[in-house]
């Protein structure tokens, strides 16, 4: 079972459906003890860092997530779910993240439109091998919706250019994360989720040219800073 952590924040169904589209037994999980039996854990997140952090802690799912990571269960954070893997965020200075990675999430650089709400190119960090990026090709397009991002660090395997280098994907051992939304990123996003499922030991259906909803994903427009 792939557990999609349900802590009462945002639309979690799209991540669940994308994983199911690839043949995984994925379902929303809102009880901490259910994470103990999962072969993989996905932590989505939308909205403010502080609200997400507080909801995750109050539900008991934050401690369950830390325990899964300590057991080296494959773990994928998406968007704010990635940001929650860090120590905190300047968006919500009083809120604490899971502290898996060092550093504080920062606002996107000055001079760009915030949020970044557009397709952008994913650029692999040189010298790093990455199972998350396997088979994606050179600089694939993925879809972002965010105003904050984690720091670029040793765990960063891909960046995007948005007023400078912005951390777009991380990978360290069994812990993966994407600042972009794979469930909204067409075939490339499905390929990222398929890579994660393989990392979990799950047999994966081949990603099709259609999204999990059955609709053809729209072609990305050339970005001019932000759409």
53, 91 Cβ separation under 8 angstroms: no
From the candidates 21, 146, 181, 199, give the one annotated as an active-site residue. Answer: 181
146 as an active site residue: the answer is no
183 as an active site residue: the answer is yes
From the candidates 16, 21, 52, 79, give the one annotated as an active-site residue. Answer: 79
Record the tokens describing residue 208, joined without a space.
């099709």
* b/e per residue 107-133 (b: at least 16 CB within 10 A): ebeeeeeeebebbbbbbbbeeeebebb
Q: What pairs with residue 42 in β-bridges? A: 4, 76
From the candidates 21, 183, 199, 200, give the one annotated as an active-site residue. Answer: 183
Query: ∠ CA(7), CA(186), CA(205), 5° rounding?
Result: 85
Q: Which alpha helices (H) appear in the chain, and where do they start and end?
A: 13-21, 49-58, 61-70, 80-83, 186-199
Quick one: which of 136, 123, 117, 114 has its CA closest to 169? 123
160 as an active site residue: the answer is no
Record the tokens describing residue 211, joined without a space.
């999204």
Q: Sign of the CA dihedral 114, 49, 164, 140?
A: negative
* Catalytic residue annotation: 79, 181, 183
């Amino acid at each position: 079972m792939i557990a999609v952590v349900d802590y009462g924040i945002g639309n979690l169904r799209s991540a669940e459906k994308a994983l199911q589209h690839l043949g995984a037994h994925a379902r929303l999980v809102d009880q901490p003890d259910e994470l103990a039996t999962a072969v993989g854990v996905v932590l989505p997140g939308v909205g403010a860092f502080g609200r997400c952090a507080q909801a995750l802690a109050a539900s008991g799912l934050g401690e369950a997530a830390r325990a899964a990571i300590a057991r080296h269960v494959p773990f994928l954070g998406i968007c704010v779910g990635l940001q929650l893997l860090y120590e905190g965020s300047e968006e919500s200075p009083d809120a604490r993240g899971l502290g898996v990675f060092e550093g504080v999430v920062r606002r996107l650089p000055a001079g760009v439109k915030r949020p970044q709400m557009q397709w952008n190119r994913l650029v692999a960090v040189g010298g790093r091998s990455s199972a998350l990026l396997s088979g994606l090709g050179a600089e694939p397009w993925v879809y972002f919706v965010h105003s904050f991002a984690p720091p670029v660090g040793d765990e960063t395997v891909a960046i995007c250019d948005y007023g400078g280098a912005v951390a777009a994907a991380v990978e360290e051992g069994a812990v993966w994360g994407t600042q972009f939304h794979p469930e909204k990123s067409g075939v490339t996003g499905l390929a990222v989720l398929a890579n994660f499922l393989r990392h979990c030991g799950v047999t994966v259906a081949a990603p099709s040219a259609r999204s999990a909803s059955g609709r053809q994903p729209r072609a990305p427009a050339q970005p001019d800073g932000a759409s």
